Amino acid sequence: MKIKFLLTGLLGVITISAFAQKGELNNAQSAYEKYDPLSRANFALAKPSLMDAKTAIDKAAANTKTATLPQTYALKAAIYASLAAHEADASAAATETSTSEEAIAKAKETDTKGEFKGLIDHASRELAQIQLDKGVKAYQAKNYDEAYNAFVAEQKVLPGDTTAMLYAGVSAANAKNYPNAIDSYKKLLATDYKDKEKIYMDMPILYMLNKDTANAVKIASEASSKYPNNADLRKAEIETSLLAGQQGDLVAKIEAAIKADPNNKKLYYYAGLTYSQIAEGQQKEVTKLQKADKAAQAKLKAGAKFTPNPQIAKIQADRAANFTKAAEAYKKAVDMDPNYFEAVLNLGYVTMAPAIDQYNAAQFLNDQKSYDAAMKKATDQFNQAKPYLLKAVELKPDSRDALTNLKSYYLGVKDTNNANDIQKKIDALPAGK
């Protein structure tokens, strides 16, 4: 009987001793459980519980019996993350953040059964929010490098957070740190982020700004292949290819697509868009050459004969040919669908564009006969565009582009009253419309 009594007493001592060793850990758990829900409503009331939790966890962490327990690490991570989240002193907050990060790493390493995953995740979210808030504040202050670093730090705590990836990319782009912006966006594209089409819109621009033409064209092509019904991405591919001097490859690609799918109205629209974009680019060349001609002419001595750069006439002819090809492609799309607004809108514009060139050129003619002939030619061309310009407005009466094109027509045919009426409609449109 005595032996049994002694054994029972010994077991009691061991149980009491183990409980005592975990006492501070239990105190920390209890205090933090009291703090956490209350802090969401009133931090001032909850703060004493958080400080009690800190005191208890520090003691548990200093006790060799409890220092390396998964629960100790997990609680310490959560408690110090909460301390950092409400710390006004930057130096103290940095120390608390570092302590929490170290504890999170240890907790993940030792919690092999996942018993304290909730606490670990809670601590990670708390630290992530700190970095997110820090990044947003820096971004709003236009400290884009600091914002980028904060959003990257957030991802180290909470890997896979698409919000932080997006914000990091935007911040890097604003800081003109294009390699890091590209890297952030590439990571985002590898996730299940729902607005990837918007990211794809920005990627070619970032690559071009980073002077990486090859990858700009590659990502633009990838985007339009993945989202073939997105007209903006197709337009971005066209513009990127043109900037890269690859219009020939682009035209061949679209023509091959049309051959494979001749009843696809969107392919004809994209063909039209390609030719019209090429024509727009040629106008920039013409403007540049004309400016140079004007400067050269100003330097001539009085009475000296000036010969315009012959390249101007050649490029203008090519431009007109590309507008014709664009019109033909848009017309096919419209024939398939008379209510295809984008195609109708652009068909009106490319049909009118040569008329605008003719109108402008006529203003520099010196004799009345030549002027009248040129203006008649321009008016005839304007009138060819009129049905499409009116149809575009009919399809979308609140389209600023459609109204602006129609106003240009009325100005071209010198119908001031109708031009003024259209301008009133434009002025009445909501801002940003």
Query: Could you tell me if 276 and 387 lie in one domain?
Result: yes
Query: Could you tell me if 126 and 47 lie in one domain?
Result: yes
Query: Could you tell me if 128 and 148 lie in one domain?
Result: no
User: In the chain, how many domains are there?
Assistant: 3
Asked if the structure places residue 113 within a domain, the reply is yes
The answer to whether 171 touches 151, Cβ cutoff 8 Å, is: yes
Domain region containing 168: 142-194
Asked if the structure places residue 256 within a domain, the reply is yes
Side-chain-facing half-sphere of 367: CA atoms under 13 Å: 3
* pLDDT, tens digit, 9 for 90 and up, residues 82-124: 999 999 898 999 999 999 999 999 999 999 999 999 999 999 9
What percentage of the chain exceeds 90 in pLDDT? 67
The answer to whether 149 touches 100, Cβ cutoff 8 Å, is: no
Question: Taking 70 as the threshold, does the pLDDT of residue 10 lie above it?
Answer: no
pLDDT level of residue 433 (50, 70, 90 thresholds): low
Query: One-letter amino acid identity for 237?
Result: E
The answer to whether 66 touches 76, Cβ cutoff 8 Å, is: no
| Residue 239 pLDDT | 83
The 10 Å Cβ neighbour count of residue 41 is 8
The 10 Å Cβ neighbour count of residue 255 is 14
DSSP state of 338: T
Alpha carbon distance 330, 403 (integer Å): 19
| Residue 418 pLDDT | 97
| Residue 257 pLDDT | 84
Q: What is the mean pLDDT of residues 346-372?
A: 90
| Residue 13 pLDDT | 41
Q: What is the CATH number of the domain that holds 247?
A: 1.25.40
CA 106 to mean position of chain CA atoms: 37
Two structure tokens written together for 59 = 């003691």
Query: Could you tell me if 189 and 61 lie in one domain?
Result: no
The 10 Å Cβ neighbour count of residue 293 is 16
Higher pLDDT, 237 or 8: 237
CA 158 to mean position of chain CA atoms: 22
| Maximal CA-CA distance, the chain | 135
Asked if the structure places residue 425 within a domain, the reply is no
* pLDDT, tens digit, 9 for 90 and up, residues 300-314: 877 778 788 889 889
Asked if the structure places residue 400 within a domain, the reply is no
Query: Could you tell me if 105 and 166 lie in one domain?
Result: no
Question: Taking 70 as the threshold, does the pLDDT of residue 3 lie above it?
Answer: no
Asked if the structure places residue 211 within a domain, the reply is no
- Residue 237: partners with Cβ closer than 8 Å, 6 or more residues away: 204, 220, 221, 223, 224, 250
Asked if the structure places residue 274 within a domain, the reply is yes
Per-residue burial over 169-181, b if 16 or more Cβ lie within 10 Å, else e, is: bbbbbebebbebb
Query: Could you tell me if 134 and 233 lie in one domain?
Result: no
Question: Taking 70 as the threshold, does the pLDDT of residue 367 lie above it?
Answer: yes
pLDDT level of residue 244 (50, 70, 90 thresholds): confident
Choice among 1-15, 157-171, 344-358 with the minimum mean pLDDT? 1-15
Q: What is the mean pLDDT of residues 256-285?
A: 89
Q: What is the mean pLDDT of residues 354-382?
A: 90
Asked if the structure places residue 427 within a domain, the reply is no
Indicate the pTM of the whole model.
0.65
Query: Could you tell me if 314 and 375 lie in one domain?
Result: yes
Query: Could you tell me if 122 and 173 lie in one domain?
Result: no
What is the overall mean pLDDT for the chain?
A: 90
Query: Could you tell me if 44 and 78 lie in one domain?
Result: yes
Query: Could you tell me if 385 and 256 lie in one domain?
Result: yes
Choice among 27-36, 65-74, 165-174 with the minimum mean pLDDT? 27-36
The answer to whether 163 touches 195, Cβ cutoff 8 Å, is: no
| Residue 14 pLDDT | 39
DSSP state of 430: P
Question: Taking 60 as the threshold, does the pLDDT of residue 1 lie above it?
Answer: no
The 10 Å Cβ neighbour count of residue 374 is 17
Query: Could you tell me if 336 and 252 lie in one domain?
Result: yes
| Residue 21 pLDDT | 54
The answer to whether 207 touches 216, Cβ cutoff 8 Å, is: yes
132 closest CA partner among 88, 104, 162, 96: 162
Query: Could you tell me if 91 and 157 lie in one domain?
Result: no
What percentage of the chain exceeds 70 in pLDDT? 95
Asked if the structure places residue 249 within a domain, the reply is yes
Alpha carbon distance 405, 409 (integer Å): 6
The answer to whether 147 touches 138, Cβ cutoff 8 Å, is: yes
| Residue 284 pLDDT | 87
